[in-house]
Amino acid sequence: MAKQENWIAPSILSADFAQLGTDVKDVIAAGADVVHFDVMDNHYVPNLTIGPLVCESLKNFMVKEGVNAPVDAHLMVKPVSRIIGDFASAGADFITFHPEASEHIDGDLGSIKNAGLKAGLVFNPATSLSYLEHVMDKIDMILIMSVNPGFGGQSFIPQALEKLKAARQLIDASGRDIRLEIDGGVKVENIAEVAAAGCDTFVSGSGIFGKANASDANRYDTVIQQMRDELAKAK
Ligand code: DX5
Ligand code: ZN
């Protein structure tokens, strides 16, 4: 399957949680495509963030305000099984989880698919892509971590580029519509190189929200446009 249209996915981990709805509305209006929603449990990863209640109220706000973008729930939660249904009910469009956080990877992917959502697996820097071998038929998204999960603002681990290339080959060989996403340390400065490695879905937290903290509704336009210009160069 050829590379899909590029999607920019701001990670709301770096948004202002006191005005989350407004930040999401403004960043999508600035041209971003997906809301990347990081869920951390202080167990699988050493940080604690937001859960299904926040997902539901954000989704309700988006519907009310006419903000049209999928919510991509990245679950850094162990065990992951029980919480999948909560995120499906809360309006998530994609659910991805880490294979190390699941006792039954095939079953958890199946629960996401049965709920009518898109499903994906997330690969930490040292985690092998071999987890994909017997479940490719249930995969809609492969997320390659280019940092160790837990915090925004870390530096991009360059070995992720080789992993992206390997994942791109697996996707192409499968002939399926599977998004290839990167997460961690993605900024205007390196997004072209990431795209050239085969990525089509670019999570960026501090690279987008860290650029602007004014309450100007246009504050994200410049950075999103710069990312688009870099992506155009990588074609
Ligand atoms: C890290 C999270 C990321 C994080 C990325 O564990 O999964 O989504 O917010 O932040 P940046 O883009 O700042 O590295
Ligand atoms: Zn994430």
Residue 110: Cβ within 10 Å count: 15
Q: Coil, helix or strand for 211? A: coil
Q: Is residue 2 part of a domain?
A: no
Ligand 1 atom 1, closest CA: 149
218, part of any domain: yes
**38 included as an active-site residue:** yes
CA 44 to chain centre: 17
Pocket test for ligand 1, best of 38, 74, 145, 148 (most atoms within 8 A of CB): 38
Question: pLDDT below 50 — which residues of the chain?
Answer: none
Which of 182, 199, 203, when mutated, tests ligand 1's pocket best, judged by the most ligand atoms within 8 Å of its CB?
Answer: 203
| Domain annotation covers residue 184 | yes
- Which one is catalytic: 23, 26, 33, 38? 38
Tens of pLDDT, residues 132-144: 999 999 999 999 9
In a domain, 39, yes or no: yes
Query: Does 173 map to a domain?
Result: yes
Is beta strand 179-183 parallel, antiparallel or unpaired with respect to 118-123? Answer: unpaired
Residue 95: strand, helix, or coil: strand
pTM: 0.97
- The CATH number covering residue 179 comes to 3.20.20.70
1 domain-assigned = no
**pLDDT tens digit sequence for 30-65:** 999 999 999 999 999 999 999 999 999 999 999 999
- Measured distance CA(194)–CA(190) in Å, rounded: 6
In a domain? residue 85: yes
**Using an 8 Å Cβ cutoff, are 72 and 93 in contact?**
yes
pLDDT for the residue 1: 56
Report how far apart, in Å, the C-alpha atoms of 35 and of each of 20, 102, 172, 207 are. Answer: 11, 24, 26, 14
What is the pairing mode between strands 201-204 and 141-145? Answer: unpaired
Domain count, the chain: 1
Active site residue 108: no
- In contact, 45 and 235? CB cutoff 8 Å: no
Q: Which domain holds residue 119?
A: 7-233
Q: Which residues line ligand 1 (CB under 6 A)?
A: 11, 13-14, 36, 38, 74, 147, 149-150, 152-154, 183-186, 203-207
Q: Is the omega angle on the peptide bond into residue 70 within 30 degrees of 0, that is, cis?
A: no
Would you state the pLDDT for residue 164?
98
